[in-house]
């Protein structure tokens, strides 16, 4: 497997997770009762779509075919199912599910950053995308903690 092939494989995995994350935020925006959270989740969904676009451009630069949809299986599907189940519990439960999804995407990016076979140029792109992912994760973690400290 060439470096480009490996980079494309890693990037496409991140693209799937990032699109799943954008879809999760879009679902959360529909499911929350708070307009404050609706706009926050919509904003994060848009930001995740931009991150996916950056990763897709890198795949094209490497001569690969970028994924253009998420997995909507496995963990993302469970996130949506859990989100639906937790709706009756209110916005705190929605934020809990979003934060759980954030833990998942953050771990995926951290794993890619540790991959010794990824080329330096692709690593730079992943690292820049990770800054956005980390910011979203930290924001949801802090929001989760503030909601739990109120109750």
The reported pLDDT for the residue numbered 52 is 96
pTM: 0.87
Nearest 5 degrees, angle CA 73-CA 77-CA 80?
Answer: 165
Per-residue model confidence (pLDDT) at position 84: 58
Determine the pLDDT at residue 78: 54
Give residue 60's pLDDT.
Answer: 96
**pLDDT for the residue 74:** 46
User: CA-to-CA distance for 151 and 144, rounded, in angstroms?
Assistant: 11
Count Cβ atoms below 10 Å from residue 8 Cβ, excluding itself. Answer: 23
- Those residues of the chain that have pLDDT short of 50 are 74
Q: What was the pLDDT predicted at 32?
A: 82
């Amino acid at each position: 497997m060439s470096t480009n092939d490996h980079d494309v494989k890693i990037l496409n995995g991140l693209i799937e997770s990032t699109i799943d994350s954008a879809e999760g935020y879009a679902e959360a925006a529909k499911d929350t009762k708070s307009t404050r959270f609706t706009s926050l989740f919509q904003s994060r969904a848009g930001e995740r779509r931009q991150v996916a676009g950056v990763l897709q451009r890198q795949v094209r630069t490497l001569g690969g075919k970028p994924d253009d949809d998420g997995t909507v299986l496995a963990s993302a599907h469970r996130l949506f199912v859990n989100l639906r189940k937790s709706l009756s519990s209110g916005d705190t439960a929605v934020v809990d599910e979003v934060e759980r999804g954030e833990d998942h995407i953050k771990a995926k990016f951290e794993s890619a950053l540790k991959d010794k076979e990824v080329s330096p140029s692709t690593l730079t792109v992943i690292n820049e995308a990770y800054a956005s992912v980390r910011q979203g994760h930290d924001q949801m973690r802090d929001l989760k903690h503030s909601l739990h400290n109120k109750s």
